[in-house]
Structure 1
Amino acid sequence: MADGGGGARAVRLRVASRRRLRDFQNLRGKDVKPGQFWDVVVITAADGSQELAFQEQIASKLQRKELPLGVRYHVFADPAGPKIGNGGSTLLALRRLEELYEDKLDSFTVLFIHAGGYSQRLPSASALGKIFTALPLGDPVYQMLELKLAMYIDFPAHMKPGVLVTCADDIELYCVGEVEAVCFDRPGFTALAHPSPLSIGTTHGVFVLEPGEVGDQELECKTCRRFLHKPSVAAMQAAGAVCRARRGSPAIGSGGDTAEVGEADSVYTDSVYYFDRLTARRLLAILGEIGTVGCEIDAYGDFLQALGPGATADYTRDTANVSQQEARLVEIRQKIFSSLRGTPLNLAVLNNSKFYHLGTTGEYLYHLTADARLRTELGLLSDPCGIGHLRPDGQGRVPCIIESLLEKGCEVAPGSVIEYSRLGAGTRVGADSIVSGCRLAENSTVPPGTFLHSLSVEMAGGAGFATVMFGTGDDLKLTAPSLSETHRLRLLGTDFREAVGRLGLTVSEQLFSGGGRAPPSLWTARIFPAPRASFEDSVTAVLEMFAAVRGESPPRLADGEQYLSIEEILQHKDVINMLRFRQQLTEEISQKKQAGKE
């Protein structure tokens, strides 16, 4: 296809995406008609604490009329104990719905959003959830929840009763012909399939299509012979998953590598999938057989790999992509394979589509400050608060300010995101930084590449505020095999042992909140000062202390100071107070906007 065709497709994708946003905006705060929207929306949570946090935010949104009304919104928490994965969450959520609605489900369209987990790769979402990550879009401002509901707004009208499964930290944009629609009306599973480079296929699910040439239409209905989960390039080639892409077909992207697929090898990768009521009953029967889940089941790898005529049971013994290996995992996988084998896996091949992932600090910063395509497709604003003096740099990056107030003389460098924060006069934020939920004193300085996040907490000593600080490139999930090997960790880009030494702390078992039960990591490192009585004091204490890591000052450790890890701080989070602070900011921003119009 000529470049002009690719440009026309890009325009159609933008028009389709913005039309869906308008349609959703028209439903916010209004009672929906039957078939106009989802009958049930389920958000899964990691535990009871996260469940309460999610429920509180849903209730607040409904009260402020930010969501469609007349929909059954639920939050279901995973049980205490071993991690059960989004597959386990799917099974338990199905059972909860059966208990609540019984035969009514035979006429319901249901959306499952898997939002559990503590977002260690984007810790600004750890306390309140990835699905409630704010975006520079909409009025009232959209969070990921509203955006996902908007992008799926066409689905319920073309869907037989059943369940659509998605995750909390990705965005799917697509365009189809004027008289076409993505339909979820075939038996078994139906998945969206996106054209992608082979490099992206290695980190996603890959569909092996039945033989036959893929056409040039924006939407094609195909059947899948086999599903591969995070395969190697060699495995994709051996399975026959690789096909020729047409010039100008948009490809999946992650962390800045969204690109147009040219005349090169490509594959079709996964995102969202649907299953019908009969399949839901099969899944419930599996749960009945296994009883307690007790191990990590993947809603993509463990369910979809059982589907299609080319499926084999080989994957049931492969635990390479499992974070926690449990003795029953192989047994449960084999039950899933046996029950689902022969179930059709249908594909809605979306040749004019995009898939964006915002689950890491790098992806979050790139897509909100530097990705001109996503900004154009959705109409993202770098300055939705109307500050008015933000400028891009020579690389096209912009600062992104979301639901925040900046006092006179503040400077935010391009490539940085400020969300739900108040910056005192004269504050300077360096490039490639994230400032979330903070209140900074006058003339504060946030160095480049800094992640700064404040949380309201309730501890034995009373209410207060705790602030954490990392480098935006630090890996909070990385673990060291032992205390002697903690030099493998990086804090603000510095060798961890050297960094804590500069802070005046000593590497020992007591430095980590895991208590020796888990390997050392930045997530469990007790390196943050105890909560302070005020927002500003909490942020200032961390900024002053961590200046020592960069060699700018000696450590300022108070005698008898208690230090906490982000893991411990989250255990004491005060969700109500954090939401109250956000709402106060939103109301003040609204008042300033209104005053500017008068």
Structure 2
Amino acid sequence: MSQDNDLRLQLATREKLRKFNSLRGREVQPGEFWDVVVVTAADESQREAYELQISGKVDRKELPLGTQYKVFSDPPGCKIGNGGSTLYVLQQLNQIYGKTLGGMRVIIIHAGGFSQRLPSASAMGKIFSAMPLGDPVYQMLDLKLAVYVDFPLQMKPGVLVTCSDHIELYSIGEDQSIRFDQPGFTALAHPSPLSIGTTHGVFVLDLNEKSTHSEIENISCLRFLHKVSIDQMRASGAVCKRQNGCFSPSEYEFVYTDSTYYADYDTMKSLLNLLKELGSLECEIDAYGDFLQALGPKATIDYTSNTANVTKEESSLVKTRQKIFHLLKGTPLNVILLNNSKFYHIGTTSEYLFHLTEDLVLRNELGLLSSAFSVYVNEGSEGSSQSCVMYSVVDPGCSVGAGSVVEYSRLRAGASVGKGSIVSSCWVSAGLSVPDRVFIHSLCVIHKNQTGFVTVVFGINEDLKRSFEVPANLEELKFCGVSLADCLSHWGMKNEVLFSGDASSASLWKACLFPVCSDPQSSFSASLEMLQAVLSGSTFTLPKDTTLMSMQEALQCKNLEEMLKFRQGLHEDITQRT
């Protein structure tokens, strides 16, 4: 992408942020913004957490007013995927608004799930992850709404479907607009390397319609592929070749990948009929793979039996997919090619650290700050421009290493954070040092009807989801690069560890390693000492009868009100001191 195109993208993005900032905290006019903003949640507990946070944002005038904000949780039982969530959201919207829904513009942001790849967001949700820009400071929800701020005015009644852990930046010509006014589905598409296409949805376009000379093109889609091999992309005609033009990608060969899509009101009604026909869902449905693969004149039913990308295959999956295919077959799939666009995924610890501390391109596009809504005395210290401090109070004499993120935390005088680490929702006592490349996060819990605190700590790139059959080989489970068996010896524990939840499997997510303490400072200190004992080869023994919790268990008994109260205390402190 040329420097001129980069500049166009940056200017277009800044203009969207300016527009959204002008809407925050004021009553919006009809058609000026979304009629309904829906955030999905995995269960009732997460729904409650999301509703409390949205209510707080509205009270603090961080969101446009006059819009209805709704949180809907998935029904109890088996996982239903974001496709199932979409169907249930439409059902609940229909029950609330009835025929009025036919005149409304709705955005659905899928945010259910427990964020095991970015565990700092597990308790409060990725959609409420802090982002270092804006006043009041942005969260991912604000950024999503800002990126799409132009859409409602150019959209016929219907629904826009998106996910909480990615953003799309794009520019279009002054005389152009992104219009969602066609029947059926309309999807945004981004030029991407073939390797990216293997992990995303890919559009097979009618290349006879394509010119490549414009920032934006409207084109019909012959077929949608979902997470297929490069050979399959070639065989299906999805691979495009670079041509001379202002907005040609740098790669000679590329594909157009998916991100967000719109469905008009009539299509919404078709999806509602689908849910009636299916009855209760008993399998995971993908809002992209299972809906969009049924569309386009060259769509085939073959994908319905391909379960390669399914986390857990239920017996009803193929039959459910076939019903979806037959119901949606023949529905148009329109594609808006955003030829000067970028897709950013911010859903893992490594992505979060990179985009917030190292990615100078995104920093320029969004105007990201090294310190956002924080009391941070040492901003001029070495490495601070490569670190990120958000919504935190950092006392004098503290240091934050390059490539590290500190969010929603208090660091007392002389505390330090190493390189490439995440410190989230912590109270760090004076003089303590967080090592390089660790993730450390404090949660408030209710244990035996009392308030307690648990601080979890892991290596920054450890796979918390990787599971082993029980009895687990503790040599295979690694904690900060050291076998769990060796860790237990450093902590003076017997060579066994309890795992929460389903007794048939063991993982770091379920390992009961972290002490429950009476206050956040002692909780942080205890877990940090356990970590330092492992890294230094020394011994640290917890007091007898100390209760140990896993990350999974801490989330199940989290004290949401106290965690929000901690953030509110930070908000008041920062507001008074800045």
The verdict on a shared fold, with TM-score over 0.5 as the criterion, is: yes
Quick one: which of 118, 121, 130 aligns to 2:126? Answer: 130
Is the CA contact 1:176–1:218 (under 8 Å) kept in the aligned structure 2? yes
Verify: 1:516 aligned to 2:525, yes or no. Answer: no
Q: Which moved more, 1:273-282 or 1:557-566?
A: 557-566
Q: Which runs of 5+ in 2 are unaligned?
A: none
Superimposed CA distance per residue, residues 319-372 of structure 1 (whole angstroms, 9 cap, x where no aligned partner): 111112111111110000000011111111000011111100000000000000
Quick one: which of 424, 435, 444 aligns to 1:447? Answer: 435
Verify: 1:400 aligned to 2:396, yes or no. Answer: no
Shift of 1:505: 3.9
Shift of 1:387: 2.7
Q: Following the alignment from structure 1 to structure 2, what is the Cα–Cα distance between the partners of residues 381 and 443?
A: 26
Shift of 1:392: 8.5
Verify: 1:525 aligned to 2:511, yes or no. Answer: yes
Q: Following the alignment from structure 1 to structure 2, what is the Cα–Cα distance between the partners of residues 88 and 545?
A: 42
Verify: 1:196 aligned to 2:182, yes or no. Answer: no
Is the CA contact 2:377–2:394 (under 8 Å) kept in the aligned structure 1? no
Equivalent in the alignment of 2:302: 314
Mapping 1:483-522, distance limit 5 Å: 483-506=471-494, 508=496, 511-517=498-504, 519-522=505-508
Equivalent in the alignment of 2:561: 576
Q: CA RMSD in A?
A: 1.8
Is the CA contact 1:83–1:296 (under 8 Å) kept in the aligned structure 2? yes
Superimposed CA distance per residue, residues 234-253 of structure 1 (whole angstroms, 9 cap, x where no aligned partner): 11111111112358988xxx
Q: Which moved more, 1:460-469 or 1:51-60?
A: 460-469
Verify: 1:431 aligned to 2:419, yes or no. Answer: yes
Equivalent in the alignment of 1:565: 550
Change in Cα spacing, 1:263 to 1:54, as seen in structure 2 (3 Å) is: closer
Equivalent in the alignment of 1:536: 521
Shift of 1:121: 0.3
Equivalent in the alignment of 2:575: 590
Verify: 1:77 aligned to 2:60, yes or no. Answer: no
Equivalent in the alignment of 2:212: 215
Structure 2 SS opposite 1:271: strand
Superimposed CA distance per residue, residues 61-113 of structure 1 (whole angstroms, 9 cap, x where no aligned partner): 11111111111110000111111100000000000000000000111000000
Q: Following the alignment from structure 1 to structure 2, what is the Cα–Cα distance between the partners of residues 141 and 45?
A: 23
Amino acid aligned to 1:90: T
Q: Following the alignment from structure 2 to structure 1, what is the Cα–Cα distance between the partners of residues 308 and 467?
A: 17
Shift of 1:308: 0.6
Shift of 1:231: 0.9
Equivalent in the alignment of 1:256: none
Verify: 1:329 aligned to 2:326, yes or no. Answer: no
Quick one: which of 15, 26, 30 aligns to 1:30? Answer: 26
Verify: 1:289 aligned to 2:286, yes or no. Answer: no
Verify: 1:551 aligned to 2:536, yes or no. Answer: yes
Shift of 1:458: 1.6
Which runs of at least 4 in structure 1 moved beyond 2 Å after TM superposition? 211-214, 245-250, 384-394, 481-490, 493-508
Identity percentage of aligned residues: 53
Structure 2 SS opposite 1:237: helix
Quick one: which of 49, 52, 60 aligns to 1:53? Answer: 49
Change in Cα spacing, 1:145 to 1:263, as seen in structure 2 (3 Å) is: closer
Equivalent in the alignment of 2:115: 119
Q: Following the alignment from structure 2 to structure 1, what is the Cα–Cα distance between the partners of residues 387 and 411?
A: 14
Amino acid aligned to 1:371: D
Amino acid aligned to 2:285: I
Quick one: which of 403, 406, 416 aligns to 1:418? Answer: 406
Equivalent in the alignment of 1:366: 354
Structure 2 SS opposite 1:203: coil
Change in Cα spacing, 1:225 to 1:500, as seen in structure 2 (3 Å) is: farther
Shift of 1:209: 0.8
Q: Following the alignment from structure 2 to structure 1, what is the Cα–Cα distance between the partners of residues 54 and 26?
A: 15
Change in Cα spacing, 1:398 to 1:247, as seen in structure 2 (3 Å) is: farther
Q: Following the alignment from structure 2 to structure 1, what is the Cα–Cα distance between the partners of residues 103 and 482?
A: 56
Amino acid aligned to 2:511: A
Amino acid aligned to 2:554: I
Superimposed CA distance per residue, residues 455-499 of structure 1 (whole angstroms, 9 cap, x where no aligned partner): 111221401211100011111111124434454433212233333
Structure 2 SS opposite 1:270: strand
Amino acid aligned to 1:354: K
Structure 2 SS opposite 1:368: helix
Shift of 1:583: 1.6
Change in Cα spacing, 1:308 to 1:497, as seen in structure 2 (3 Å) is: farther
Verify: 1:387 aligned to 2:376, yes or no. Answer: yes
Superimposed CA distance per residue, residues 397-438 of structure 1 (whole angstroms, 9 cap, x where no aligned partner): 711000111112101101000000000111111001000000
Shift of 1:135: 0.5
TM-score of the superposition, structure 1-length normalised?
0.93
Amino acid aligned to 2:65: L
Mapping 1:238-387, distance limit 5 Å: 238-245=235-242, 261-384=249-372, 385=374, 387=376
Quick one: which of 99, 103, 113 aligns to 1:103? Answer: 99
Is the CA contact 2:454–2:549 (under 8 Å) kept in the aligned structure 1? no
Q: Following the alignment from structure 1 to structure 2, what is the Cα–Cα distance between the partners of residues 461 and 299?
A: 40
Is the CA contact 1:88–1:296 (under 8 Å) kept in the aligned structure 2? yes
Equivalent in the alignment of 1:466: 454
Is the CA contact 1:219–1:348 (under 8 Å) kept in the aligned structure 2? yes
Is the CA contact 1:226–1:307 (under 8 Å) kept in the aligned structure 2? yes
Shift of 1:551: 3.1
Superimposed CA distance per residue, residues 512-532 of structure 1 (whole angstroms, 9 cap, x where no aligned partner): 113424x211111111112x1
Q: Following the alignment from structure 2 to structure 1, what is the Cα–Cα distance between the partners of residues 422 and 133?
A: 18
Equivalent in the alignment of 1:64: 60
Amino acid aligned to 2:112: G
Is the CA contact 1:529–1:563 (under 8 Å) kept in the aligned structure 2? yes
Shift of 1:562: 1.8
Q: Following the alignment from structure 2 to structure 1, what is the Cα–Cα distance between the partners of residues 377 and 228?
A: 47
Structure 2 SS opposite 1:177: coil
Mapping 1:166-181, distance limit 5 Å: 166-181=162-177
Q: Which runs of 5+ in 1 are unaligned?
A: 251-259, 594-598
Q: Following the alignment from structure 1 to structure 2, what is the Cα–Cα distance between the partners of residues 398 and 188?
A: 45
Q: Which moved more, 1:481-490 or 1:584-593?
A: 481-490
Q: Following the alignment from structure 1 to structure 2, what is the Cα–Cα distance between the partners of residues 315 and 387?
A: 53
Amino acid aligned to 2:192: S
Q: Following the alignment from structure 1 to structure 2, what is the Cα–Cα distance between the partners of residues 246 and 124?
A: 43
Shift of 1:226: 0.9
Amino acid aligned to 2:348: T
Q: Following the alignment from structure 1 to structure 2, what is the Cα–Cα distance between the partners of residues 446 and 270?
A: 39
Q: Following the alignment from structure 2 to structure 1, what is the Cα–Cα distance between the partners of residues 394 and 245?
A: 41
Q: Following the alignment from structure 1 to structure 2, what is the Cα–Cα distance between the partners of residues 264 and 506?
A: 58
Amino acid aligned to 1:128: M
Verify: 1:233 aligned to 2:230, yes or no. Answer: yes
Shift of 1:390: 3.6
Q: Following the alignment from structure 1 to structure 2, what is the Cα–Cα distance between the partners of residues 476 and 434?
A: 15
Shift of 1:131: 0.4
Q: Following the alignment from structure 1 to structure 2, what is the Cα–Cα distance between the partners of residues 373 and 527?
A: 39
Change in Cα spacing, 1:507 to 1:211, as seen in structure 2 (3 Å) is: farther
Change in Cα spacing, 1:503 to 1:236, as seen in structure 2 (3 Å) is: farther
Amino acid aligned to 2:378: H
